[in-house]
Structure 1
């Protein structure tokens, strides 16, 4: 059995070909899609976070709205770039959104990816400490965030407060019990996956990772997952971790599917460079008739290793079409692979 969710990058484009021409279109359709996904039996609605782009950015208003409109579906991110985040403010926002949803948040965080502007986090008021780079700053923000989610008091109370305080040091409010165990780390390397395991975070592995061995993407990703699970076991945490992978998967069942995704072009991994020295491998997409698709997916080692699969969706094609894409996977592909 696998949990199956969708992952939306939340694009909008002022084009006649786009169903999301404004930020309002994307936000409101994201809520509608979460509602529709829950009706279909999808397990999770996840959203990407990008700054300075025509994409979803601040996730907590959206997550709270989705939480108020749904009852069962998990609501998450994949991922929040922690270089841009104030851990204290984020802990308050996350606690509030989690309480509104009834404890359904699954927050993916990371050091982030190449962004639209140079050092965009500087515009948000952050800069690395002496001896840090921006990646280390992002990881430091994560560690501060995790500590705040523990619920331990740390702030000295005012002896003459406006309102009566509970005894002892104060924590941030609102506090949501259990959220600490529902934080995920988006890992691009084996080393950061192991680091996440030691800190007690779940693992999100996307369709991109640093090319560390030259092997096919799904094999490298499966090795990353195994390294993560070994590190988790060694750390001795008291709960079982979760692992997700993301894939673009389209069952070609009608003329719309064939027109959008039946032309091929994503059947192989690709290699690229995130900067002048960082070689990355990008995983292939899948688009085929259901019987062919099933056999292709059987050979994906990383999907087999993961307990959660996030389907990346083309949000600009609208709610109805994306619901069709998810329903085809649920009914025509997942049962044959033992996911349902």
Structure 2
């Protein structure tokens, strides 16, 4: 039975009118709250025409909503200073009344060779899990300096301020490999698993996407102090068509078909596996998900909205998710609980 239903958006905008795109994202989050969704998540895009500062956008969303949880899926820490990010996250969590769910990941920034001189011109930073550990420590309220006290007329703290109690328990790691899933579990984080996983080396024929994702979920929970109760959220791309127009259905199917070839075999040197997008009525999607071995292992999801659709398309998809697909999966809107 699905307990929590969320959605993820990239928040695209027109370079000539970025405000309209950001307003559209905020309106979609507001709609999600009215429809009873449990959570809304923003994806990160740097030097592209998608949201580059999801924490800022979620700060705005926190003042236009009152209940829905607000997450990032995910913030790549290679672009961030963990201490400064901890300050921003704590501030937005306080403003939201404790609704922030930050998701993060590590590794070098995408196209690092192109941005290194602008991002880190004077040093070669560490892009390992140690970067997440620094963020965790700062969010948990551990000292980040040896000094605390008064200097002149000013008071100083030795830990990040404001401190947001409970935020550390709502930190998520976006993992796509056995190693990252096990690390997240061992460090007491929650796990975001998406429509992309790594086909682990060693097997001549890799298992299917669902089986690989299932192995990650189980490795995470085996390493987590909470065991089988550790939180995992799945982020597949599903597009319900119950109330869609014929033109919308044709567009949705064309979108999925164009992306299908990449789902057939592992892609690139990292051997990444992509899940097929699922397009159909809510009943058809629910049937396919019931056969998905990794979906059967979770009780919360953050279904990803397609990147390139229009505002009206997102309204239709979210309305069908909340009104038809969620209930078909055993979920009840927040407004009905």
Q: Report TM bin, short chain.
A: 0.7 to 0.9
- Residue 252 of structure 1 corresponds to 241
- Residue 135 of structure 2 corresponds to 145
Match of 2:32 among 37, 45, 54: 37
1:121 shift after superposition: 5.2
CA distance in 1, matches of 2:278, 2:107: 25
Q: Which has the larger displacement, 79-88 or 156-165? A: 156-165
1:172 shift after superposition: 1.5
Does residue 58 of the first structure (1) align with residue 53 of the second (2)? yes
C-alpha contact (below 8 Å) 2:222/2:228 kept by paired residues: no
C-alpha contact (below 8 Å) 2:236/2:302 kept by paired residues: yes
RMSD, aligned CA: 2.4
- Residue 293 of structure 1 corresponds to 285
SS of equivalent to 1:262: helix
CA distance in 1, matches of 2:228, 2:62: 25
TM-score, normalised relative to structure 1: 0.86
Q: 1:249 to 1:29 in 2, by over 3 A?
A: same
Q: 1:333 to 1:56 in 2, by over 3 A?
A: same
CA distance in 2, matches of 1:307, 1:270: 27
Q: 1:270 to 1:122 in 2, by over 3 A?
A: farther
SS of equivalent to 1:78: strand
- Residue 8 of structure 2 corresponds to 7
C-alpha contact (below 8 Å) 1:32/1:319 kept by paired residues: no
Does residue 312 of the first structure (1) align with residue 301 of the second (2)? no
1:273 shift after superposition: 3.4
SS of equivalent to 2:154: coil
Q: 1:69-106, CA deviations, whole angstroms, 9 ceiling, x for partnerless residues?
A: 10010101110000111111111111111011100001
CA distance in 1, matches of 2:233, 2:226: 19
CA distance in 2, matches of 1:13, 1:112: 29
Q: 1:240 to 1:22 in 2, by over 3 A?
A: farther
Q: 1:147-185, CA deviations, whole angstroms, 9 ceiling, x for partnerless residues?
A: 0111133421365243245xxx62111111110111100
CA distance in 2, matches of 1:238, 1:118: 40
Match of 1:243 among 232, 235, 256: 232
Q: How many residues align?
A: 320
Does residue 70 of the first structure (1) align with residue 56 of the second (2)? no
Does residue 160 of the first structure (1) align with residue 151 of the second (2)? yes
CA distance in 2, matches of 1:285, 1:113: 28
Unaligned runs of 5+ in 2: 333-337
